[in-house]
Amino acid sequence: MVEAKGLNKPVKLKNELAQFLGASELPRTEITKKLWDYIKANKLQTKTENGKPENAGKFIVADAKLLPIFKNTNSKSKSGKATNLTGMKEGQTINMMQLASVVGANIE
């Protein structure tokens, strides 16, 4: 059997994400896909920052289930841009580009 590498290699999920996805290990690609499936199924996208969910747009609205996952995020990108969502509240949004930071913050 060929060992999966890179984005297809299973990673250990932190507690909140593991509970949300119902798995303890998944590849990053699968984590991101499952998060997007949930976001789309629950119409949690909006075109404006902290706007009402309208099922389209580049912002993702935090609902009660996503909030604990988002709140684990406090990281810096390689370019030095900080993503600190620890004080986030339900109904607030993240930019879809921040989803990678959220995934990164929720794996070990």
Mean pLDDT of 69-80: 90
Strands 59-61 and 93-95: antiparallel
C-alpha 97 chain-centroid distance: 10
- For the chain, the domains span 8-105
Lowest mean pLDDT among 6-20, 22-36, 71-85: 71-85
Confidence of residue 53 (pLDDT cuts 50, 70, 90): confident
Confidence of residue 76 (pLDDT cuts 50, 70, 90): confident
Tokens, residue 69: 């996952």
- Reported pTM: 0.89
Quote the CA–CA distance of 108 and 106 in Å, as a whole number.
7
More confident residue, 96 or 54: 96
Instruction: Give the fold, CATH level 3, of 8-105.
Output: MDM2 (1.10.245)
Mean pLDDT of 22-44: 96
What are the strands, taking DSSP E only, across the chain?
10-12, 25-27, 45-46, 59-61, 74-76, 82-84, 93-95
In percent, how much of the chain has pLDDT > 90? 78
Mean pLDDT of 29-51: 95
pLDDT at residue 40, as a whole number? 96
pLDDT of 103 over the 80 cut: yes
